[in-house]
């Protein structure tokens, strides 16, 4: 079982890359997002590897972070999601974006990914929403805003305060996060703590 490769980036294709480790080239399949973030060819690279062994092949799937590898495995627990679709999802959405989409029940965001239709989007939300807290899937799994959030600092503070209030009321963090995310999207610039809590409670009551 290969769990990690560290070597020189030999070449990159549309579906993966070759990593030269001591003169041996390993073919590694990867998401488009991972491939976009690889170093220049000839430079050192480290990839976390998930090894799939079948009767007719051994495939290596590579990821720049442990979180992305964890998501790759979690996605494939859903019926209809194989390695190809899992990589397509990870290529379209960052781990934080994926966590927020599932927590908020955002089917539209999920159907942006190749291979994900409305039915599969619903299945992903239904089967994975309660599993978000079980793995280290990125900052959003803990209910934290990611570094790429475009909201103002005041908005982030209001979201964090509303999330904390709902959790203190006894709601699961992932459910509260999803409700507050939906409320923040509806309120936009008008979002304040009391409004977020009020709309969040309405979402949780559905």
Distance (Å, whole) CA 64 – CA 78: 23
Distance (Å, whole) CA 107 – CA 102: 8
Q: Tokens standing for 66?
A: 């442990």
Distance (Å, whole) CA 37 – CA 82: 23
Q: What pLDDT does residue 133 have?
A: 60
Digits of tens for pLDDT over the chain (206 positions)? 789 999 999 999 999 999 999 999 999 999 999 999 999 999 999 999 999 988 888 999 999 998 899 999 999 999 999 999 999 999 999 888 888 888 878 888 999 999 999 999 999 999 997 777 655 444 444 443 443 333 333 345 787 788 888 888 888 777 788 788 888 888 877 778 888 888 889 888 87
Kindly report the pTM of this predicted structure. 0.69
Instruction: Calculate the dihedral angle through the C-alpha atoms of 50, 39, 34, 174, rounding to the nearest 10 degrees.
Output: 90
Distance (Å, whole) CA 90 – CA 72: 8
Q: What pLDDT does residue 96 have?
A: 82
- What would the DSSP string read from start to end of 164-180? HHHHHTT--HHHHHHHH
| 3-class secondary-structure state, position 55 | coil
Between helix 83-92 and helix 66-75 the angle, nearest 10°, is: 130
């Amino acid at each position: 079982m290969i769990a990690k490769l560290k070597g020189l980036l030999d070449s990159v294709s549309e579906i993966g890359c070759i990593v030269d480790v001591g003169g041996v080239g390993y073919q590694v399949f990867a998401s488009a997002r991972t491939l976009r973030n690889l170093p220049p060819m000839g430079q050192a690279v480290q990839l976390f590897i998930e090894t799939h062994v079948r009767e007719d092949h051994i495939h290596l799937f590579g990821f720049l972070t442990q979180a992305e590898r964890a998501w790759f495995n979690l996605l494939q627990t859903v019926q209809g999601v194989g390695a190809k679709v899992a990589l397509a999802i990870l290529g379209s959405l960052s781990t934080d974006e994926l966590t927020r989409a599932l927590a908020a029940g955002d089917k539209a965001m999920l159907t942006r990914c190749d291979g994900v239709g409305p039915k599969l989007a619903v299945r992903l939300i239904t089967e994975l929403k309660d599993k978000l807290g079980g793995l280290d899937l990125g900052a959003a799994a803990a209910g934290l805003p990611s570094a790429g959030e475009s909201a103002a600092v005041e908005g982030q503070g209001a979201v964090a305060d509303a999330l904390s209030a709902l959790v203190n009321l006894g709601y699961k963090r992932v459910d509260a996060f999803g409700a507050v995310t939906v409320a923040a999207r509806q309120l936009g610039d008008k979002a304040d703590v009391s409004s977020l809590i009020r709309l969040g409670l309405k979402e949780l009551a559905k």
